[in-house]
Structure 1
Amino acid sequence: MSSENRHSEIWILKEIAELLNEGTEMKGLLSEVLAKLLHVTGLETGWIFLMERDGSYELAAMENLPPALSHSNCAPMCKGDCWCIDRYNNGRLYKAINIIECKRIEDALFEKRADTNNLTHHATVPLRAGEEKFGILNVGAPHKTHFSHEELALLESIAFQIGTAIKRIKLTEREQENALTAERNRLARDLHDSVNQLLFSLSLTAKGGVALTREQETKETFAYIQDLAQEALSEMRALIWQLRPRGLENGIISALINYGEMLDLEVKTKVTGVVSLPGIVEEAMWRIGQEALANCKKHSQQSKVDLMITVEKNQVKMVISDNGCGFHCDESLKDIPTLGLKSMKDRTEFLNGQFNLKSSEKQGTSIEICIPV
């Protein structure tokens, strides 16, 4: 390699590294670095797949895709298998590959879809940091059917940088989640030690006032104050539960049973597999379970709820169901009827999980979530 090419390669790596070092938001960063990569290397087209442990994938960034791949909001890129994804999932993609004929483009040509802009091949590089793998970087250019060893080495170096940045962002997100949990715990302790105790004292004082006074009007006033204090205590305890679930340290099952008891619900449980979950998954299941149990209490007109948790392979499934009055719902979930249900769906999908809701009038309601672990 000439000194001029070596200097150019170092400059490209420096440009990419500076960009990656500044980024904090995953998809925005990947789009920026992909655009920069194509610009500095003179390539034209690229896309990045983020991969999950279960083999599913997401098109996280793309640049200058030909019409054959970009039509219908990039639908050809968001479904189905291809050779680079198959190699990644079966463990055969561990370094830059020279070169893969693009199955998605071949399908487009066979089906006589839109223009491919003369793109037929692409190089494929895994995104990883150490032993951890995060996805795939694909790059290509019109009429280009070969990448030199030097080009592949450069792409591999850039892919390592991207993989390291992805790991850094994931660790940062985890730290932020932990910090948020710690702050909620602190706020819960403060509420319990101050406001909760004051309300309890107010309730006792009002109760004493009822016993001490003889005037009926004054008795009624004290009794009203006591009722308000008791109601406020109940609201405060529920809020403290929301912030810091007592019993979650003993696991998600214990926490949901205890929460159900607080709502005067009998929670019947069935557990399959060893329930040892990442903190962020357990936290999400707790929040979703809280909302589901609260809905049972408010709307089902039943006092019994079934809770099923199954851990198998690389996923955990939780089902909360009742035999209550139910309601009419669209199982496609295109129109979620309440903010609480939407919150459950959003929490599940934030962790790349699947949310399902089944309910019909007089047939009860079932909420099922599946989250990869």
Structure 2
Amino acid sequence: MEEETRLSRLKILKDIAELLNKGTDTRAVLSEVLKNLLNVTGLQTGWIFLVDQTGGYQLAAHENLPPALTLNQCAPMCSGECWCLDRYLDGRLDKATNIIECKRLEDAVDFHWGETYGLTHHATVPLKAAEENFGLLNIGSPNKTHFNKEELALLESVALQIGTAIKRINLTQREQDLALTAERNRLARDLHDSVNQLLFSLSLTARGGKERSEDPEVKETFSYIQDMAQEALNEMRALIWQLRPRGLENGLVSALKSYGEMLGLKMDIKVKGVINLPGSVEEAIWRIGQEALGNCKKHSSQEAVTMYFTAKEQEVIMDINDEGCGFFYDEEKELPSLGLRSMKDRTEALKGHFSLKSEPGKGTKIRISIPV
């Protein structure tokens, strides 16, 4: 019997390892592994929390949650505190363990959120690889109030595999990001060395033709060509900046100031606080700032732009204000342009908050706040 149990456990671990080795998308991998784990163990319900370095968590995968926990798109699972997370965050949870009485399920009963189908307890296991922690795996079944040592050992082995897979996927993503940055830099160099130089030469040639010609119509044609070449040259320089943020090595604020001045804007930048931003946050703020300054140049009819940066212990805030023509904006409706929606999406992808205020004749104010 023991040999049969051991072989069954090895098969489960083998099947899950194969799933984890194939995956490149964290959420898809976690969902598939959780479903497979429940299927082969005969257990019914499971969910996985991913926890970031600040203690914030997200429900990354779930399977067969009772109605009480899926209320309002799983709202009971997406906010609030619980004992397993508390123990994970304060370092008490370092191996698979039984959680006596789940607080979320207790609240579901106390506040009449819905049917729990007899689910009251669960086992919880930290997801980690070496010294890195990634979150929690929780497993339960109706009327099951205790997991034996063999069950906890199996869950711990699976959790270790999951933690290792998450680390692999994260490392792969970083490598891809570095490769993308290198490709952007290469493309920026190519554009600068070829198209940018051709446009500059075209502008000079048009100016020379205009100066040498005596015919007014020819002069006007050369002048038009020169203006168009200069406009295309400005667009190309802006594109190169977007691909390769030259000056970012001297700091985000310096880069945005230089970018705004390159667009012909009068930049007034104020900074409060000092913080070392993660690369993903710095990149996002840089791209958002570029889009905002581009909008100011194209739509505000004003050259003066004010930017405020406020660095707090767990948050960075960027305000971009102009006193231009503004526009009517209803907060209840969708953002009116692709650029603004892109800024909002970039912000929310990092768990940040995007706000916009604008009125005709009263300018536009944009605020970006991102946790760090």
TM range (shorter): over 0.9
Contact 1:263–1:294 (8 Å) recurs in 2: yes
Q: Which residue of 2 aligns with 1:366?
A: 365
Q: Describe the SS at the equivalent of 2:186.
A: helix
Contact 1:53–1:314 (8 Å) recurs in 2: no
Once the two structures are superposed, the pairs formed by residues 58-137 of structure 1 within 5 Å of their partners are: 58-137=58-137
Q: Which residue of 2 aligns with 1:146?
A: 146
Q: Describe the SS at the equivalent of 1:101.
A: coil
Once the two structures are superposed, the pairs formed by residues 1-373 of structure 1 within 5 Å of their partners are: 2-331=2-331, 335-373=334-372
Could you tell me which amino acid in structure 2 is paired with residue 108 of structure 1?
A
- Partners in 2 of 1:210 and 1:363 — Cα distance? 42
Could you tell me which amino acid in structure 1 is paired with residue 2 of structure 2?
S
TM-score (norm 1): 0.93
Could you tell me which amino acid in structure 2 is paired with residue 367 of structure 1?
I
Contact 1:331–1:356 (8 Å) recurs in 2: no
Q: Deviations over 1:212-258 (max 9, x none)?
A: 22222222222222122112111111111121122112111111000
Percent sequence identity is: 67
Could you tell me which amino acid in structure 2 is paired with residue 318 of structure 1?
M
- Partners in 2 of 1:266 and 1:91 — Cα distance? 51
| CA 1:113–1:214: 2 relative to 1, 3 Å | closer
Q: Describe the SS at the equivalent of 1:117.
A: coil
- Partners in 2 of 1:74 and 1:119 — Cα distance? 16
Structure 1's consecutive aligned runs of 4 or more residues displaced over 4 angstroms after TM superposition are: none
Give 1:197 deviation, angstroms.
Answer: 0.8
Contact 2:71–2:113 (8 Å) recurs in 1: no
Give 1:44 deviation, angstroms.
Answer: 0.6
- Partners in 1 of 2:22 and 2:85 — Cα distance? 29
- Range 230-239 or range 348-357, more displaced: 348-357
Could you tell me which amino acid in structure 1 is paired with residue 169 of structure 2?
I
Q: Deviations over 1:260-313 (max 9, x none)?
A: 101222222222333432322221111100011112222333322222223333
Contact 1:51–1:134 (8 Å) recurs in 2: yes
- Partners in 2 of 1:35 and 1:324 — Cα distance? 54
Could you tell me which amino acid in structure 2 is paired with residue 169 of structure 1?
I
Structure 1 residue ranges without an equivalent (≥5):
none
Q: Describe the SS at the equivalent of 2:267.
A: strand
Contact 1:177–1:280 (8 Å) recurs in 2: no
Q: Describe the SS at the equivalent of 2:245.
A: coil
Could you tell me which amino acid in structure 1 is paired with residue 77 of structure 2?
M
Give 1:331 deviation, angstroms.
Answer: 4.1
- Partners in 1 of 2:90 and 2:253 — Cα distance? 35
| CA 1:254–1:212: 2 relative to 1, 3 Å | same
| CA 1:316–1:101: 2 relative to 1, 3 Å | same
Give 1:19 deviation, angstroms.
Answer: 0.5
- Range 355-364 or range 251-260, more displaced: 355-364
Q: Describe the SS at the equivalent of 1:75.
A: helix
- Partners in 1 of 2:295 and 2:125 — Cα distance? 47
Contact 1:43–1:139 (8 Å) recurs in 2: yes
Structure 2 residue ranges without an equivalent (≥5):
none
| CA 1:79–1:275: 2 relative to 1, 3 Å | closer
Contact 1:202–1:226 (8 Å) recurs in 2: yes
- Partners in 2 of 1:4 and 1:274 — Cα distance? 60
Contact 2:275–2:312 (8 Å) recurs in 1: no
Give 1:18 deviation, angstroms.
Answer: 0.7
| CA 1:72–1:275: 2 relative to 1, 3 Å | closer
Give 1:53 deviation, angstroms.
Answer: 2.6
- Partners in 1 of 2:18 and 2:47 — Cα distance? 20
- Partners in 2 of 1:361 and 1:89 — Cα distance? 48
- Range 50-59 or range 62-71, more displaced: 50-59
- Partners in 2 of 1:150 and 1:356 — Cα distance? 51
- Partners in 2 of 1:354 and 1:260 — Cα distance? 23
| CA 1:361–1:223: 2 relative to 1, 3 Å | closer
Q: Describe the SS at the equivalent of 1:368.
A: strand
TM-score (norm 2): 0.94
- Range 96-105 or range 25-34, more displaced: 96-105
- Partners in 2 of 1:24 and 1:245 — Cα distance? 29
Contact 2:310–2:318 (8 Å) recurs in 1: yes
- Range 175-184 or range 23-32, more displaced: 175-184
Contact 1:256–1:289 (8 Å) recurs in 2: yes
